[in-house]
Chain A
Amino acid sequence: MTRALLFVVALSFGVLGAPRAAHAQSAAAVLAQGARAYDDLELDNAAGLLRRALAFQGAAALAPADAARALMYLAATELLREHADSARAVARRLVLADPRFRPDELVFPSQVLTFYEGIRRATPVVIGRAPADTAIRPGTEALAVRLYASTFHDVTATLGTEAGRVVRTLYSGPIGDSLDLHWNGLDSSGTASPPNGRYAITVTSLDRQRRVVRILRLPLEVTQGRVDTLPHPAPPADSLLRPERQSMRPALRAFAPAALAGVAIVVLPGVVANGEDASAARFVVGGTVTIAGIAAFFSHHPGKSIPANVAHNRTLRDAWRRADTEITRRNAERVRGMLGIRAGAPVLLTPEAP
C-alpha cells in the first residue's frame, strides 16, 4: 500500500516537474541545443528546438544577436529539410530584423549562404539609429540618423507629421550599405522650425519597379527651446581658500609672554616685598621686555595681506566666475532657439502586395 502511494507521488512529481524543468531552460540554452542538433543533422529536432528558442518572450527572449543566429540556423535547417518556403520566410524575417546580418561562412554550407544572399538581395529594407535625446540649433546643427540597408536599393526619406503631412524631404536616392540622414531642424521652407509636436522620419524602400516594399518609421518628439539647463558650478569651498591676511594669534602669542613678564616686574615687588617701595629702575627692565614684546607682535605682521594667498584665492574665484559665466551663456544659448528632439523606437512596416 505504502509502496503504491510512493509510486503515485513520484509519478505525480515526474509528470508535473518535467515540463517545468524544460521550461526552466533559458532561451540561450535551447538555442545551443538547437545548434548542436543542426550540427548533428538531427534536423527535425533542430527545427523544434530553434523555434522554441525563438518563442521566448519578454525578458526571457533571446538577445538580438542570438535571435539573428537562431533565425539563421532555422533558415538553414528548413532549407536542408527541403522546406523551401519556410526557409525563405525565416530568412526574410532575419533580413527584416537585422539587414546587416551576415551568416558565418565556416558554419553554414555554401548552399545555405547562397540561399540567404539571394533572400537578402531580394528583400530591400533599412533600419535606422538616432540619438535618443538631443538638442540642435536649427539651421547650423543637424540631427543625424544613420541608416543601414540590407541591399542596394532606392529609398526616400521624409520628415512628416503624425497625420502624414510631409514637413521636409530629407533624401531620395540609392542606399548601399549605409547612409547618414541629416535634418537641420528646419521645415521645407528652410527658414523655420516646425512647431512643437510629434513627427516621424519615414524611410521608404523601393524595389526596382519603384514599388514601396518597406517603410521605416522613426518617431520624433520635437520641442522648441525645452532643453535641460546645465547646473551652475558651486563657488570655491572655504577649505580651498587660503587666509588672505596674517592671523592675529601668532602675534598675540608672541606678545603675551612679554606682557606677562612686564606686568610681573611692575606688580610682583608689591607681592614679594610687601611694605617696601620698590625701585623705579625696574621699569627699565619692564619697559625693555614690553618693547621686545611689541616688536615681536609686529614682527608677525598681524592683519597684513598675504599676496600669494590673495593671488591663489583670486585664481580660484576667477576660475569659478569664468565657469559660472560660461554655464550662464551656454544655458541661455540652450534655451534660446534650440530644438529638443527625442527619438522613439523605430517601426518597420511592410505594405501588403497589391
Chain B
Amino acid sequence: MTRALVLAIAAIVAGAPLAAQSRWNVSFGVGGGQEIARSRIGTTRERVSGLVLGGEVVATRGKLVARLRYGQGRVTNDTAGRDVAEGEALLGYKARPWLTVWFGPHARTFVVPGQSDRRWLHWSGRVTARGTLFPGRVESFVELWQGITGSLNRPAESASGGGAEAGLVLRLARHPVWGRLAYRIEQGRASGGTRRETVEAITLTVGFVPLR
C-alpha cells in the first residue's frame, strides 16, 4: 500500500513538468472522503466505512484529456477492518465543451490482515457531462461509467460493474485553486452472482490548476 501511495505521488510530481508546456494544461488535486463499502457474499452482508485520502492529476491538451486518480484508506465496522486502495487511469475525449467520454481501467483492492487481497478490476467506458451554474466559478457534473470487462482476483472470476458520480466544482476567481464536492457510488458484481461489492463515497477535493 505504501508503494501505491508513492506511485501516486510520483505520478502527481511527474505531471508537474507538463504544466510548464504551453500546450498542456495540468491540474492537481488532493482530497478525502467518507467511504462506505457494502459486501454481499451469498447471504452474508457486511458494511464497513471509513476515511479514504487520495490525489488526482488531470492533463488536458486540446480535446484530449488524461486522468489519474489514486486513493487509499481504511474502512472498518465494529468487528472488522480493511485497508482499501483504489485508482483509475483514464483517457478521455471532449466531444463537446460540456461532454467528455472516457476509457480506461479502474481498480479497487481490499486488504484484510491475514487474508489475501481482493481486487476488482474494470475496464470501463465513461461519460461526463458538465453544466455551468456561475460562469467560470461553479459548475455541476454527472459522470456515469459502465464496466466493459472486469475481473475479480479471488476467487478468480470475471466481473461486471458500473457507477456514477455527481457533484459540484468550485473555482476561485483569479486564483489557481478549485474544490470539488462529489457523491460517488459504484458496484462490482462477480459473474458467479454470489459476490457483490458496493462502494459509496462523499468526497471533498481541493486542487490546483496553473493560471494561463
Q: Which one of A87-95, A275-283, A306-314 is at the interface?
A: A275-283
CB distance from B186 to the nearest CB of A (A): 7
Contact of A257 among B139, B183, B196, B198 (CB under 8 A): B139
* Residue of A whose beta carbon sits closest to that of B141: A261
Which 4 pairs across A and B sit closest by C-beta, in order of nearness?
A257-B131, A296-B133, A261-B140, A285-B183
- With A272-B187, A279-B200, A292-B133 given, is the CB distance from A285 to B38 under 8 Å? no
Interface of B is mostly: strand
CB distance from A277 to the nearest CB of B (A): 9
Contact of B164 among A257, A264, A293 (CB under 8 A): A264
* Residue of B whose beta carbon sits closest to that of A256: B131
The verdict on B31 contacting chain A, using a C-beta distance below 8 Å, is no
Task: Pull 5 A–B residue pairs with CB atoms less than 8 Å apart, ordered by A.
Answer: A258-B140, A268-B142, A285-B166, A285-B183, A289-B181
Contact of B162 among A254, A264, A272, A288 (CB under 8 A): A272
* Residue of A whose beta carbon sits closest to that of B130: A257
A254–B141 touching, CB < 8 Å: no
Chain A positions within 8 Å of B196 at CB level: 275
Name B191-206 residues within 8 Å CB distance of A: 196, 198, 200, 202
B142–A264 touching, CB < 8 Å: yes
* Residue of B whose beta carbon sits closest to that of A283: B183
Extra inter-chain contacts (17) besides given A258-B133, A261-B131, CB under 8 Å: A254-B132, A254-B133, A257-B140, A258-B168, A260-B140, A260-B142, A261-B140, A265-B167, A268-B144, A272-B187, A275-B196, A278-B185, A281-B183, A282-B200, A285-B167, A285-B181, A295-B133
Complex CA–CA separation, A273 to B34 (angstroms): 18
Interface size on B, residues (CB 8 A): 31
The verdict on B182 contacting chain A, using a C-beta distance below 8 Å, is yes
The verdict on A286 contacting chain B, using a C-beta distance below 8 Å, is yes
Q: Which of B140, B141, B198 has the most CB of A within 10 A?
A: B140
A261–B200 touching, CB < 8 Å: no
* Residue of B whose beta carbon sits closest to that of A271: B164
Contact of B185 among A257, A272, A275 (CB under 8 A): A272
Name B108-136 residues within 8 Å CB distance of A: 129-134
B164–A272 touching, CB < 8 Å: yes
Complex CA–CA separation, A330 to B12 (angstroms): 82
* Residue of A whose beta carbon sits closest to that of B204: A285
* Residue of A whose beta carbon sits closest to that of B45: A276
Chain B positions within 8 Å of A288 at CB level: 168, 181
The verdict on B66 contacting chain A, using a C-beta distance below 8 Å, is no
A276–B133 touching, CB < 8 Å: no
* Contacts from A to B (Cβ < 8 Å): 254-258, 260-261, 264-265, 268-269, 271-276, 278-279, 281-282, 284-286, 288-289, 292-293, 295-296, 299
* Contacts from B to A (Cβ < 8 Å): 34, 36, 38, 129-134, 138-142, 144, 162-164, 166-168, 181-183, 185-187, 196, 198, 200, 202
A257–B132 touching, CB < 8 Å: yes
A284–B164 touching, CB < 8 Å: no
Chain A positions within 8 Å of B142 at CB level: 260-261, 264, 268
A293–B200 touching, CB < 8 Å: no
Chain A positions within 8 Å of B163 at CB level: 272
A258–B131 touching, CB < 8 Å: yes
A260–B131 touching, CB < 8 Å: yes
CB distance from B175 to the nearest CB of A (A): 19
CB distance from B123 to the nearest CB of A (A): 17
Chain B positions within 8 Å of A293 at CB level: 133, 140
Complex CA–CA separation, A260 to B144 (angstroms): 13
Complex CA–CA separation, A120 to B140 (angstroms): 100
Chain A positions within 8 Å of B198 at CB level: 273, 276
Complex CA–CA separation, A275 to B193 (angstroms): 13
Complex CA–CA separation, A244 to B133 (angstroms): 24
Chain A positions within 8 Å of B187 at CB level: 272-274, 276
B200–A278 touching, CB < 8 Å: yes
Complex CA–CA separation, A238 to B196 (angstroms): 63
Contact of A286 among B129, B139, B141, B183 (CB under 8 A): B183
Chain A positions within 8 Å of B186 at CB level: 272-273
A276–B183 touching, CB < 8 Å: no
Contact of A281 among B129, B162, B166, B202 (CB under 8 A): B202
